[in-house]
Amino acid sequence: MDWILALAGFGVGALVGVTGVGGGSLMTPFLLVYGIPPTVAVGTDLAYAAIAKTLGVWLRHKARSIDWRAASLLAAGSIPASLVVVALLEHYSLRGAAFELIITRVLAVGLILTATTLLASRWLQRLRIGMPELPARGAVTVAVGVLLGALVTLSSVGSGAIGTALLLMIYPRWTVGRVVGTDLAYAVPLTATAAIGHLFLGHVDFAYVAMLLVGAVPGMYLGTNLGLNLREEYVRAALGVLLLGVGVSFLGGR
């Protein structure tokens, strides 16, 4: 089992390196299919993501492709939202089958939204050309953070493709690299906060986290290099179709 998890980490890490998205969207469904309970799958993936994405933030910071003000605004909305979700889960003692059903359904919705974003990425890119900048962008950015904070805490999905798409609409003058870097920068403290919350609820297995990281680090390195030679839009389209199918199957009951 340990080496299968390492191979899964390698595969998902490679896809993240190629496309920049797909971590939680792929890892959590894999852990579910493998037989790990939904609560543990989400908590473990969040802990794994918080560690794995830290390297990406450091590299993006060195490349000066992070807008730290926007990342701070996203964190200002997402981290309190994450804490509130964890507090509600604990207050209402959502455990067992009821909690697992909630997580599975939220995960399904998150996967479908992520798939739709990936499949419509080229259209979104064209749409934002010529778009006027939104008024009160700071408040809108915080509100987006609240939405993503709740979604990520419940499903571990949303801080990649969905967050990137929303930032593209809020900041149409930004380059894609700056959007991806900013999205990654706020995702680290968010996933860390959500992971600590799930650890408090008893949903994190650090043995699983370690094996996922063993595979993910070389996978991300390989994927980043492959991404220089592959047509990213084709990979994103294939990933979108895959996630759409998985999301629909989870929504209808695994």
Of the candidates 49, 73, 50, 67, the residue with the CA atom closest to the CA atom of residue 144? 73
Domain span including residue 224: 2-248
pLDDT on residue 80? 97
d(CA 253, CA 24) in angstroms, rounded, equals 19
pLDDT for 196 beyond 90: yes
In Å, how far from its chain's centre is CA 104? 16
User: What mean pLDDT do residues 154-171 have?
Assistant: 82
User: What mean pLDDT do residues 93-100 have?
Assistant: 65
Q: Is residue 254 part of a domain?
A: no
129 band by pLDDT with thresholds 50, 70 and 90 = low
The number of distinct structural domains making up the chain is 1
Q: Is residue 154 part of a domain?
A: yes
pLDDT on residue 22? 60
194 band by pLDDT with thresholds 50, 70 and 90 = very high
Question: What are the tokens at 209?
Answer: 């986290």
**Structure-token match 């043995």, residue found:** 207
Q: Is residue 210 part of a domain?
A: yes
pLDDT on residue 175? 79
Top-confidence residue, 175 or 213 = 213
Q: Is residue 103 part of a domain?
A: yes
Q: Residue 6: enclosing H or E segment and its boundaries?
A: helix 2-19
Q: Is residue 253 part of a domain?
A: no
pLDDT on residue 94? 60
140-149, 174-183, 200-209, 233-242 — most confident range: 140-149
pLDDT for 233 beyond 80: no
Q: Is residue 158 part of a domain?
A: yes
106 band by pLDDT with thresholds 50, 70 and 90 = confident
User: What mean pLDDT do residues 167-171 have?
Assistant: 85
Largest Cα–Cα distance in the chain? 51
Q: Is residue 244 part of a domain?
A: yes
pLDDT for 6 beyond 80: yes
Burial of 17 (0-12, 13-18, 19+ CB in 10 A): buried
How confident is the prediction for the chain on average, in pLDDT? Answer: 81
